Amino acid sequence: MFHLLWTAIIGLIVGAIAKFIMPGKDPGGILVTMLIGIAGAFLGTFLGRAIGHYDPGQTAGFLMSLIGALILLGIYHLIRRASAKA
């Protein structure tokens, strides 16, 4: 139970930092920020394992989670910019 709470808190922090670093209008409030951070952690874990930084069973650290969240926000901005031009 505490693991899920800890994941949500870290996701909120990572998502908030990613939104602070990435300029532009970002989606949603606190829940979306938390989900971006948690999804960033999953993406960071996947990328870290793909490049051999993490072993199977290891999860992403704070920095890799932040990188994953920044990638997700960057993709969101690219899609939003493309749909605004169309």
Residue 83 and residue 55: Cα distance in Å, rounded?
Answer: 38
Model pLDDT for residues 29-63, shown as the tens digit of each residue? 778 888 888 888 888 888 888 998 888 877 778 88
Backbone angles phi, psi at 46, to 5 degrees: -60, -45
Residue 58 and residue 41: Cα distance in Å, rounded?
Answer: 12
- Type of residue at 68: G
Q: What is the largest CA-CA distance in the chain?
A: 45
pLDDT at residue number 86:
63
pLDDT at residue number 70:
92
Every domain of the chain and the residues it spans: 2-85
pLDDT at residue number 66:
92
Model pLDDT for residues 60-84, shown as the tens digit of each residue? 788 888 999 999 988 888 888 788 7
Pick the closest to residue 38 from 74, 65, 71 (CA basis): 65
Query: pLDDT: is 20 or 58 the higher one?
Result: 20
